Chains A and B, each alone.
Chain A
Amino acid sequence: MIDVASLVDVKNGTQAKSIFWDEQIYQLELERIFDRCWLFITHDSLIPNPGDFTTAIMGEDEVIVVRQMNGGVKAFLNVCAHRGTRVCSAEAGNTRAFVCTYHGWAYGLDGTLQGVPFENEFYKGVLDKSTHGLTEIRAENYMGFWYGNFDQQAPSLYDYLGEFRFYLDVWMDSTGGAELVGPPSRSLLKCNWKTPAENFVGDAYHVGWTHAASLSVLGGELSAMSGNKMVPPAGAGVQITTRFGHGLGILTDAGPALLGGKAGDMARKWYGENRKKVTEKMGKTRGGYYGSHFNSTVFPNNSYLWGTNTFKVWAPRGPHHIEVFTWGIVEKNMPDELKEAILDMATRTFGTAGMLEGDDADNMESMTHLNRGRQIRKGRLNAQMGLGGDKVDQESGAIIGPSSVGETSYRGYYRAYREYLMAKDWDELLNKDPDAWKREFLGR
């Protein structure tokens, strides 16, 4: 039996190392996190027309996401109701039907079973086609970003994002929306799925050190951090966490990130020109956050960086491996030249041959595989930086650590992680005082 309660010490900001290794814990995560949480599947910009589809992975389940004839979006398990074969082996496209390659069962865009070869001759009325459609999954979007959910009890995506929307809006809704640019690159990392998720949710600490060499040759605001040559000044940023585990770090005014030269100037100009409008639309706080660098994870395994403009899914493949999906993100209304420069730099830094991607992979793999060792696996992970300094932000309702470098979002991510693993179902998760998580987090 796993002692789930002891895996995370919320008060002291530590976690058991076994969460990166143990098969039993992993199975519990699949059941209580991936079967339950909203998982990123696609974006409007990748399926604009009726019949457009993309495939995705939710937990370890393969799904198809399809634009319907009426403009809506449906998601299905990518599996034939007959003998369990994959019904769609392309990653994206436009189609009128999904036809299984095994016996030719054909499904409509709405998932209904439309055609069964020799139905009358061989089934002789036995087969009930109405109960043999593709298995539909809940799919909802926020600002065009579509997420799927296997749990009928789960709150809406809107409520699941909760306080986090306050921060998402800064780039998703500031100047007329954001778009996702695909197709994604796909690669294997030999690490536990939480190692990149926690890094993106709250680790500004590693940037100057892990990425010292890359930062020393690239340009832009972040390059000054190379080799930990400077301490970010007070007020340079914040760490944020929310009820359902989503979190982010903000490095104020560092939006151009690693864009040097002319591209950096273009980005600075764009953010500068739009800040006033964003402030009018969203208020002073978010006007101030606009044009900053964000590192973030939407719980459990969807991360992004705004500024380096990479958007990721860390799909688990057992406890020790993940599939990395990488897209680019930009504001829709940015000039084409700026979009191109940003996407080009996103590839250069966090694509499959990304200069910073490779640095991170090394850490994520060793912090997973060292746990083969029984003695190492018995230990604890430390996320205590900034402990005691966190407070509730009245404007957003989130909890904020008032430092550009800190581990507030790590602690919030794992507080939520523990709560998901311990709760029997969504009723138990939701049937609480909505501020209880804050008291638990702050130790009051």
Chain B
Amino acid sequence: MDALKSVTHDIYHEIEQTIYREARLICEENLREWIDTLIDKDILYQAVNRQLRFRKDNRYTGKDSTYSLNENYYYLEMRVKQSESPMQWTADPREIVRHFINNMEVYEGEKPGEYRVFTNCLVVRNRRIYEEMTYSYSRKDIWRRDANGQLRLLHRLCDIDERFVTGKNLNFML
């Protein structure tokens, strides 16, 4: 990894507030405001599940991971529209996706106005009467400033800890 260059306390604070705001918008099911105000049009939004391999095995040629999410802006917005549809029965009654985000590190990105953000996430998701599911994963984000100076998410890679996803699916904004 390249040398990581730290940011000022003010920038750290600004990004932390943005990440918390993002989590709140998702929890409040306000995905329209989320995508309109926090997502860059060049977004790449990914979640990866990794196959278990022996450490020393370097002869097998098959891919060792598969995506659960691999979306650009067009498809990410499609998911937002799906959630907004009055015909989305799975979210009616509502479900709650609550992020607990910590271990946040912020560094300067490769280009001016870009920031690399590492976090750990625990999500507790409640739906229907009896379903409560938890998910643990890391996020590697790149945020950048738009023309107005507003921070927007440019790239997110979520690395899902569970090989066998016991929370049924990852059908929420990670």
Contact = CB atoms under 8 A, between A and B. Distances in A.
Interface of A: 46, 48-49, 51-52, 89-95, 182-190, 210, 212-214, 216-218, 226-227, 323, 344, 347-348, 351-355, 357-359, 361-362, 365
B67 interface: yes
A193 to B, nearest CB: 15
17 contacts: A90-B53, A90-B57, A93-B60, A183-B51, A183-B62, A185-B49, A185-B66, A187-B166, A188-B164, A188-B168, A212-B85, A212-B88, A213-B87, A347-B66, A348-B70, A359-B90, A362-B90
Given A347-B67, A359-B90, A188 B85 contact: no
B61 interface: yes
B127 to A, nearest CB: 9
Interface stretch (B9-17, B71-79, B145-153): B71-79
B170 interface: yes
Contacts of B47: 353
A344 B165 contact: no
A355 to B, nearest CB: 6
Contacts of A365: 168
A183 B66 contact: yes
B85 A92 contact: no
A357 B171 contact: yes
B171 A92 contact: no
Given A355-B82, A359-B89, A186 B163 contact: yes
Given A90-B52, A212-B85, A351-B66, 12 more contacts: A89-B52, A91-B51, A94-B61, A182-B66, A183-B51, A185-B165, A188-B164, A213-B89, A216-B82, A217-B78, A347-B66, A361-B168
B2 interface: no
- Report the 6 A-B pairs with minimum CB-CB distance, sorted nearest first: A213-B85, A212-B87, A358-B171, A213-B88, A183-B51, A94-B59
A259 to B, nearest CB: 12
A347 B165 contact: no
Interface residues of B, number: 39
B63 interface: yes
Nearest to B91: A213
The listed residue with most A CB atoms (<10 A of its CB), out of B62, B67, B70, B166, is: B62
Contacts of B69: 347, 353
B64 A358 contact: no
A187 B169 contact: yes
A415 B53 CA distance: 41
Contact of B90 (A48, A189, A226, A358): A358
Contacts of B53: 90-93
B4 to A, nearest CB: 30
A182 B49 CA distance: 11
B23 to A, nearest CB: 18
A183 B75 contact: no
Contacts of A186: 49, 163-165
A185 B165 CA distance: 9
Contact of B85 (A49, A217, A344, A362): A217
A354 B78 CA distance: 12
Interface in B136-174: 163-171
A46, A91, A227 pick with most chain B CB within 10 angstroms: A91
Given A94-B57, A186-B165, A46 B62 contact: yes
Contacts of A52: 60, 62
B141 to A, nearest CB: 18
Nearest to B127: A362
A348 B61 contact: no
